[in-house]
């Protein structure tokens, strides 16, 4: 069996251009055995919504002293190394890591295998192909919606699928190039911060973001939303 990294993230939302990573879980597998794990909470520089807190069990207090993505992106990429990525909706997790890497002037190009696509192709009889449902089908222990638990479960699922189906479906298990086009975003400028603070003060508003941690695009988007709703 090939070496791979099973990767899972928890995030503030579904869009890597607007949302942030709040937890990373990665499992390194060598010759079919777990050779190491990487896990960390990540401070996203903004408050979490109720839905995210309810889904993951992660809250703002847990993230206060967590490292920022800039502190862990280098060590995470080093841990991943040249290995292939495995994950349930692996392109989703790849896109967030790719975005973070690009923002910190790091390269991250990967081949990957998606256990969700494999499940849809090879287990058509299952009503749901969610990680939770397919793990239940195979009797895989799974702590859902925490990054390291999902990464472990996706790894176990990949091995179950490969053991059952690989011999007659080699092409389905061939790693594919993961593609996500990410643009580097610079940090919020001094002028943007001044404009944003003036708008917040004028309209007596607060926002669930750490202004110093915004990107230029995020700052512009927030100001546009304020101007559209409250005017100048």
* Start-to-end CA span in the chain (Å): 61
Range from 74-88, 150-164, 174-188 carrying the lowest mean pLDDT: 174-188
Three-state DSSP at 5 gives strand
- The pLDDT of residue 4 is above 80: yes
Higher pLDDT, 213 or 92: 92
CA distance 86 to 230: 46
Kindly report the CATH number that applies to the domain delimited by 4-177.
Answer: 3.30.420.10
Indicate if the pLDDT at residue 1 is higher than 70: no
Q: Which residue ranges make up each domain of the chain? A: 4-177, 190-230
- How far apart are the C-alpha atoms of 11 and 23, rounded to whole Å? 7
Is 22 in a helix, a strand, or coil? strand
Identify the residue with better confidence: 220 or 74: 74
Residue 88 has pLDDT above 80, yes or no: yes
Q: Answer whether residue 37 shows pLDDT above 90.
A: yes
Residue 226 has pLDDT above 80, yes or no: yes
pLDDT band at 230 (very low <50, low <70, confident <90, very high): confident
Q: Is the dihedral of CA 159, 30, 98, 112 positive or negative?
A: negative
pLDDT tens figures, 120-176: 999 999 999 999 999 999 999 988 889 999 999 999 999 999 999 999 999 999 999
């Amino acid at each position: 069996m090939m070496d791979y990294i099973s990767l899972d993230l928890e995030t503030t939302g579904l869009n890597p251009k607007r949302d942030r990573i709040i937890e990373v879980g990665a499992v390194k597998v060598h010759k079919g055995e777990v050779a190491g794990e990487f896990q960390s909470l990540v401070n996203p520089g903004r408050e979490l919504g109720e839905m995210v807190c309810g889904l993951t069990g992660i809250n703002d207090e847990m993230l206060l002293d967590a490292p920022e993505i800039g502190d862990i992106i280098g060590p995470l990429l080093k841990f991943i190394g040249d290995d292939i990525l495995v994950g349930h909706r692996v392109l989703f997790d790849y896109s967030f890591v790719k975005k973070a890497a690009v923002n910190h002037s790091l390269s991250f190009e990967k081949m990957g295998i998606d256990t969700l696509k494999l499940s849809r192709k090879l287990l058509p009889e299952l009503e749901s192909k969610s990680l939770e449902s397919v793990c239940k089908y195979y009797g895989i222990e799974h702590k859902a919606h925490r990054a390291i638990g999902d990464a472990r479960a996706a790894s176990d699922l990949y091995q179950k699928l490969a053991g059952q189906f690989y011999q007659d479906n080699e092409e389905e298990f061939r790693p594919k190039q993961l593609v996500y086009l990410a643009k580097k975003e610079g940090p919020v400028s001094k002028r943007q911060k001044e404009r944003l603070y003036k708008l917040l003060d004028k309209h007596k508003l607060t926002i669930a973001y750490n202004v110093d941690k915004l990107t230029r695009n995020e700052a512009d988007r927030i100001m546009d939303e304020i101007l559209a709703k409250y005017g100048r």
